[in-house]
Amino acid sequence: MVVRMRHTRSQTGNRRSHHALKAKTLTACECGAARVSHRACPACGRYRVRVVVDVAGKAQARTVRRQKKAAKEGREVGNKTEAQK
């Protein structure tokens, strides 16, 4: 069997030198919002001048879904009851 060799602190440090996390670089979108490079803008849904995500449609679908769920549970959306306050 092969005898296992120990690693010195310098060898361990050299290996771990590549484990650091890098900050994401933000760029300015055409709408003025900050977005991550090579990703669609979360504010307007644009990527490289084209609209690739329908942000307004998703927001409208989300509100409709919440209203249906609230109606099913028998409560209003956005208003807190006396028990929740």
Domain boundaries, the chain: 24-73
Collapsing DSSP states into helix, strand and coil, what is residue 34? strand
Mean pLDDT of the residues in the chain: 86
The residues with which 47 forms a beta bridge, in sequence order, are 50
Average pLDDT over every residue of 56-79: 85
Structure confidence at residue 82 as a pLDDT band (50, 70, 90): low
What is the pTM assigned to this prediction?
0.52
Distance (Å, whole) CA 79 – CA 67: 12
Q: Taking CA 16 as the corner, what is the angle to CA 13 and CA 19, rounded to the nearest 5 degrees? A: 150
- Minimum mean pLDDT range among 12-16, 57-61, 76-80: 76-80
Q: What is the pLDDT of residue 73?
A: 86
Say how far residue 45 (Cα) sits from the centre of its chain.
Answer: 14
Written as one letter, the residue type at 74 is G
The CB density around residue 41, as the number of other CB atoms within 10 Å, is 22
Whether the predicted pLDDT of 38 surpasses 70: yes
Q: What is the pLDDT of residue 27?
A: 92
